[in-house]
Each structure stands twice: as C-alpha cells, then as structure tokens.
Amino acid sequence: MAELNKIGVVGAGVMGRNIALFFAQSGHQVQLFDVNHDAVTSALDAVGQTLARAVDKGRVSADDAAATKARLSAASEMVDLADCDLVIEAIVERLDIKQKLFAQLEEVCGAETLLATNTSSLSVADIFANLTHKDRALGLHFFNPAHIMKLVEVITAPPVSQIRCDDLVIYLNQIGKTAIKVKDSPGFIVNRCARPFYGEALAILEEGDFSAHHIDAAMRAQGFRMGPFELIDLVGADINLAASETMAKAFDFHPRYHVFDRLQRQVDEGALGRKSGKGFVTEDIKVELAEAEQQQIAERILATLINEAASAVDHQVAAPQDIDLAMQLGLNFPKGPFAFLAEIGLDRVREILAQLEANAPTYLKGRYRPAAALQGGKFDA
C-alpha cells in the first residue's frame, strides 16, 4: 500500500492522544481533533510531558522528542482532516455517536482515506453500517498505553478490501506494531479469549473451596504476572462487569459467558479494586497451597481458556498462532492458549472439561462443552 503520511485522530482522551503520539513518533504528521477544543490542548500538553519524561529517562533524545512534538498539531475543525491518509476514531463506546461521526468523516475525507474505529467492544460492521463506501472502513483496536503496547487487532468486516487490510497489517508491522488480522466478532481476540481467565476464577471462588488469594497464587505459579483477581482489582470490578455483560449479551447469554453473582456483588458493594481502596485481593494476605491444589485450580482455568480460544478458531476469528501471540502481547500471558494445550495435552483438557460439565450446576450446563476444534482432531498430536 502507499505510505501513510498524514494521520488524523478523533478523540483527545488517553487512548486518542497515545495513538497520536505513536504515529508522530514513527514519523507521521498527525492532527488531533476533538469537539472539545480544550481537550485537544490538554492532550498535547500531556504528550509533551510524556516525551519530557522519556528524555529524562534516556529513552529518547531531546532532538527526537522535539521532532515528534513538531509532527503533532491540533485540528480546529473536522474538515481539517480532509487530506489525511488514515483517520482513527477513539471516542466514547456508543454505537450511535460513532455512526454519526463516521457519517461526518465520510463527507469531509477524500475517497482514498482509510477510516478506522478503535472500538474494543462494538461490532465494526454495525459502526460502518450507514456508510456509502464501506470498503475503506475497518477496525484498529489499540491497547493502552497505545504508544507502548505492541499489539493492534486489525478488524475486518465485509465489504472492506482484504488487500487493504493485509497491506495495513504489513505497514503497521513495519512501523513498530505487531498487527494481527481479526474477523469482526464479539470481543475480537483478546477481550473474548480472556473471559474464562476471570470467569472461571469467579466460578471457583463461588464454590467456596478456595479464596481469591489462593486462585491468584495458583496462576502466578504458572508464570502469570498477575492473577485474575489482581487484574480485576487493577482495571476495576465495574469495568470487568461491563465487559462480561457485553460478551454475555453478544453470545445470547450462553453459559460460557455467565456473569457471576460474586462480581456483581463486588460492584454493588463499591469494592471496585485499587481505585476504591478495596477489592478482591487488595488486602495483603499470605496463603499456602499444596502443589496438587495449585494444579487443580490452574488446569481448570487453563482448560476453559483453551476451550474459548478453540471456539474462536471454530468461528474463524483468527488462526491459533495469532491468538497465542495476541494473548501474550495484549495481556502479558506467559504462553498463549494453544501453547498451554500442547503442554497439558488434548486428552487431559478434554478430561477436565468433561468433569466440569458433569459437575456443573444447572445454570452452567453447556459451559464446558468442548469446542468443535477440540473434538474433531484438529489439535491431536
């Protein structure tokens, strides 16, 4: 594809300004627009502070920081984005507002301008449903902080040009990202395949045999930097609940995406994690687990992670190797689900899922049914 020289970013929040910073650092002219002009001024100030800290720590030279700042500018009106090669939206996660924005962008941008949404939860096809030229519209899901995190999910939805998507994947990889092409589907790769990491931990917690601290310890022993409850506390139980509810609705409330009462209660009680000062594991409690108990907890969560990833393969969301890479880069997992599958063994994973399904309460029946990819010999040794 032709080089993307000029980038437009709409939305001057944390995600938008960091996307703008990434492209400016990689040599692009970048214009940042927001309906709140003061937000753009604040965002550019924040970028300046980020660059100043990077200079102080020796991560970039003063000359490079100055050059990056010079490539960033404010767009006073949306029409200023007319000659951009790529415009990325990073605004509020509301379908109606995004649809309205892209209708406006289609009016002002040239016919060859690529239009991209940074949505993390909405259907890309739905966002672009009302556009006249859908063949130039796609998803670019960056991860926060966008100027540091390598992963970008490039989300394709017909009738976008697959050649354009493939070329954009190559281009993003050339300028420092690890871009993975993903089919438009609920949660894409990372947000979908991460659900069992939290959900199965909550299922174990509700059963009452192990505490949140026990469960986190078991997963850290498997090489995870943080356990599921540490991550919930870090991001916020309210954010995790919203994501869980979104996925449950998207999959017609299939028991694999069950929203557990324990998470809802945590939110109702205001125990949201670090931001509220109280969460699942905000108290520093030392726990001990026998090796057999560690394995019991870890294998159960890993088996459900593997099953969800295999379901994503069934739905042609992405290839197994891309799913593994996305989970490592997007969530800092020590291995991807299919690497864990190779380690644990397909027969053992099937055995764990069968036991869980046999013992599941009525409201979770079907949660542990193996994905077709695990049943059909696709991953047999």
**Active-site residue set:** 120, 141, 153, 191
Contact 274/219 with Cβ under 8 angstroms? no
User: Residue 124 is which amino acid?
Assistant: V
Burial of 298 (0-12, 13-18, 19+ CB in 10 A): buried
Tokens representing 247?
């996925």
Angle between helices 228-235 and 237-250 (to 10 degrees): 100
Question: Residue 181: what residue type?
Answer: K
Between the CA atoms of 13, 19, 22 and 27, what dihedral angle is there, to the nearest 10 degrees? -110
Q: Evaluate whether 34 touches 10 at the Cβ level (below 8 Å).
A: yes
DSSP label of 161: -
- Cα–Cα distance, 355 to 346 (Å, whole number): 14
Hey, is 8 helix, strand or coil?
A: strand
Sheet holding 151-156, edge to edge: 72-74, 29-33, 6-10, 86-89, 114-117, 137-142, 151-156, 178-183
Report the alpha-carbon distance of residue 160 to residue 86 in Å, rounded: 14
Q: Tell me the two tokens of residue 178.
A: 């690890």
Give dist(CA 189, CA 105) in Å, integer. Answer: 28
- Tokens 């969800």 found at: 308
